[in-house]
Amino acid sequence: MQNFVFHNPTKVLFGRQTLAAIGSETRLLGKRALLVYGQESLRASGTLAQIKGHLHQAGVSCAEFGGIQANPLLSKVRQGILKVRAEEIEVIIGAGGGSVIDTAKAIAAGSMVAHDVWKFFTGKKSVRATLPLLAVSTLPGSGSEMNHGMVLTHDQSREKFGFGHRLLHPQTAILDPELTFSLPAEQTAYGAVDAICHILEFYLSTQDPDTPVQDRLMEGLINNGMEACERCLADPCDYEARASLMWTACLALNGLTAAGLGRIEMVMHLLEHSLSGLYDTPHGAGLAALLPGWLHHFARSRPERLAQLGAGLFPRSGTGDDRERRLNHCIEAFLGWLEAIQVPTSLEALQIPSQDHPRIAAHTSGLAKVWRMRQYSPAFFEDILQGCR
């Protein structure tokens, strides 16, 4: 296990009726809030009215900033920054999934600087301060409610870049599993895929051969995420399943899973950012379509690590002397789960033709440079894409 520093300052309020605390939690940080949310689901579910009511009771004025789409756009963040300055906002609230919370983070950081917010994402500027931020999670998956990262898409270039900084941790995260009861099945499944892929990135990319604590933690989280997702799809109002999936998504990317692993790389996320940046596909759908090709890559490049994962998750993968058979069983088990939760398992299912593979692969170069992963060339990603048909 490598040396590490684990620091996660986000205060988590988890469980039933925790949304009622949003007024008092916000009031500790400011009297004028910008409430960032998505399209119509927050309003339709009644959650928006609840949030506004709790804020009003706590003496917090609330300016609304809705309409955040999946794969959130730079132009929308710029509008939010202007609104913050015009209305002298003191605190930001992001209520929704990862796209909404990432947008709230970008507004919170961008409002504190004179330069354009996109410079954070291209590595030209770093965060020095942010407005305080609260997160209300209504779509488990990204883990943004309890981590230091954010992702944004440039409207013109279609570059979808991710950026992380310790000051981007929300001060408070409110996680009430009941707020996810009304999630459509596909969004529930996409969120679960995203959370599990976060863990897979760490598990398969670490070069440390002896990390038993982290390995068992990650294997357990993946297994729990898969089971909880299936239960949520079978019964959308299964509170315990929703709670398990919500907490799994937080733990998947809050810094704990990667602790002690040394250098890790999010290769699949880098490729998916190009995919959803160019085609505006849901992030979880893109990851699901890429996962088979990515696992086949690891069967060739890190067979011992993938075999260990299979043995930990799928007992049959750990039996027998034929390593190739064990690797294939691991991959087939993941594919079977993806098919069971009815998500895309190929680029063809997303209606992305093989002729577009070079374009997608070339598009990865910008983010690979920013993330200091230049060793992964467009040719490397084309090879991965060939396994995702």
Q: Which domains does the chain have, with CATH numbers?
A: 11-179 (3.40.50.1970), 184-386 (1.20.1090.10)
Assess contact for 109 and 117: CB atoms under 8 A: yes
- Output the pLDDT for position 320: 56
Cα 284 to chain centroid, rounded = 9
- Output the pLDDT for position 316: 67
8-state DSSP, 5: -
Which residues partner with 65 through β-bridges?
36
3-class secondary structure, 159: coil
Tokens of 192: 């679960």
8-state DSSP, 68: P
Predicted structure pTM score:
0.94
Angle between helices 283-301 and 303-313 (to 10 degrees): 120
Q: List the chain residues with pLDDT less than 70.
A: 316-321
- Residues in contact with 284: Cβ distance below 8 Å, sequence separation at least 6, in sequence order: 141, 187, 189, 190, 191, 192, 193, 194, 343
- Output the pLDDT for position 35: 98
Which residues partner with 151 through β-bridges?
162
Assess contact for 254 and 260: CB atoms under 8 A: no
- Output the pLDDT for position 319: 55
- Residues in contact with 265: Cβ distance below 8 Å, sequence separation at least 6, in sequence order: 201, 205, 373
What's the burial of 352, exposed, middle or buried (CB within 10 Å: 0-12/13-18/19+)?
A: buried
Tokens of 95: 């209520």
- Output the pLDDT for position 95: 97
Distances (CA, A) of 273 to 1, 107, 276, 337, 373: 30, 21, 5, 23, 14
- Output the pLDDT for position 388: 86
Mode of pairing for the β-strands spanning 160-164 and 149-153? antiparallel
- Output the pLDDT for position 289: 96
Residue 14 belongs to what H/E stretch?
strand 11-14
Tokens of 54: 């709790």
Residue with tokens 């690979």: 368
Tokens of 355: 């002729």
Rounded CA gap, 343 and 334, in Å? 12
8-state DSSP, 60: -
Centre a 10 Å sphere on the Cβ of residue 128 and count the other Cβ atoms it contains.
10
- Residues in contact with 208: Cβ distance below 8 Å, sequence separation at least 6, in sequence order: 1, 2, 260, 261, 262
